[in-house]
Amino acid sequence: MVRFIANKFIGKSKEVAENTDEKFLKSSIQAVARHILERPQNDEEWSDRGPYTSVSGTGLALALNRDVLQEVLHRSVNKEIQDIFNYCLQNLSKNRERQARYLCGDLGTLVASLNVSVRDDVIERIEQISHILAEKSYPNDEVLYGRAGYLAGVLWIRYVHFCFIEKIDTNFSRTVNENLISDDCVKRVLKAMYESGRKYSKKHNSPCPLFYEWHESEYIGAAHGLAGIYHTMMSFENLLAPSELDDLKASIDWLLTVQITEGNWPSSSKWFGREREDQLIHWCHGASGVIHLYIQMYHKTRDEKYLEACKLAGHLIWEKGVIKKGPGLCHGVSGNGYAFLMLYRLTSDEKWLSRALCFARLMMDKDVQGQQRTPDSPYSLFEGWAGALCFLCDLLPERRDKAQFPLYPNTF
């Protein structure tokens, strides 16, 4: 089964990118924003948990981009944002495990809903959740439901939230207040993650020091797998003991060895050493998510092996990343486009910016849309148009140097 649509801009990226100018981007932003704001109301998006498919993710997309939206729509979207977040904060779960989930639970809703008027209460709740995740009995370590999600949420608050939500310029070179959520909270979650990975690796004789499973599968990608766990742990390398950091780096380097020649990574350990015709090239499973880990590693170390892995993955995404599952972040065109945008931020190579702009045009192309299926949650942040809205806004000239994958940021 072929999972991608032929990229008709191969060999034409520079020319197409030059025509994908600010006027095109703002026209597309206007169309997508109206599509979201005029969507038919759906009970499921209001009852769902977490920013992955619920209205809290839609609210975050509107809040992140409110200034651009006010310009292109000629009106404020503050009421829509306030209504969404007021509802979300009034309907949090009483279940401790659901409270601790990130993209699919209350933790993510709290991170998305954070603003100056509720800051103290929300931060207190987020800090309390660290105790739930630190319990050895907590079952998940990955990003969507587990401990890695907590670390991603703290990163988002420290590196991104203030710049776009509260309009404090961070320049992305430092955190505004790295103690806003205390390092003690981060440390207890990190400790539990590390011990979980060591225990699993020893028990199963895994190929590297830190190994993990989710629902009895050893996933590799950003959403449920090793890449997401390693990425978030490495973002807090300063809080790890030297031996713990050595184990993490050894695991990251081992993961590099299972990159397929074409540039992808297997979706799980069951595919090690086996060819798969229907490769998964998504943020959730595959090169489009794993690449963020090695972007971070090259930024931190300047070791060329990480950059080469990123380039190889980037070329694969360019060739086979116009996928059939729609415009979203998790397994859609915007999520794959962010790989190019982050590569551009890392390297300043205009080739990657051109490819990101081409993916924006492909995402808005009616012929491409006609070959895609409608996602289950077509207006949501991770499956639908709210994620696409973030991608389009981050492509604007004044935003490119600060672009971040929504709720899964890097440390620069």
Tell me the per-residue pLDDT of 75-99, one tens digit each, with 9 for 90 and over: 999 999 999 999 999 999 999 999 9
Which pairs count as long-range contacts for 3-6, CB under 8 Å and 24+ apart, including other chains?
3/278, 3/279, 3/280, 3/281, 3/320, 3/323, 3/324, 3/325, 4/281, 4/320, 4/321, 4/322, 4/323, 4/324, 5/322, 5/323, 5/324, 5/368, 5/371, 5/372, 6/322
Per-residue confidence (pLDDT) for residue 147, from 0 to 100? 99
Q: Where are the domains of the chain?
A: 12-402
User: Would you state the pLDDT for residue 163?
Assistant: 64
Q: What is the pLDDT of residue 116?
A: 76
pLDDT of residue 167: 57
pTM, full prediction: 0.96
Residue 269: the pLDDT is 97
Does 284 count as an annotated binding residue?
yes
What pLDDT score does 161 carry?
76
Question: Would you state the pLDDT for residue 159?
Answer: 85
Predicted pLDDT of residue 168: 45
Q: What is the pLDDT of residue 169?
A: 44
CATH fit for domain 12-402, picks 3.40.980.10, 3.10.450.50, 1.50.10.10, 3.40.50.2020: 1.50.10.10
Q: Give the separation between CA 368 and CA 380, rounded to whole angstroms.
A: 19
Tell whether 163 is in a known binding site.
Answer: no
pLDDT tens for 337-354 read 999 999 999 999 999 999
88 annotated as a binding-site residue = no
Mean pLDDT by 10 residues, the chain (412 residues): 92 98 99 98 90 98 96 98 96 95 98 88 96 98 99 93 58 49 96 99 98 98 99 98 99 98 96 84 98 99 99 99 98 99 99 99 98 96 99 98 97 92
pLDDT at residue 319, as a whole number: 98
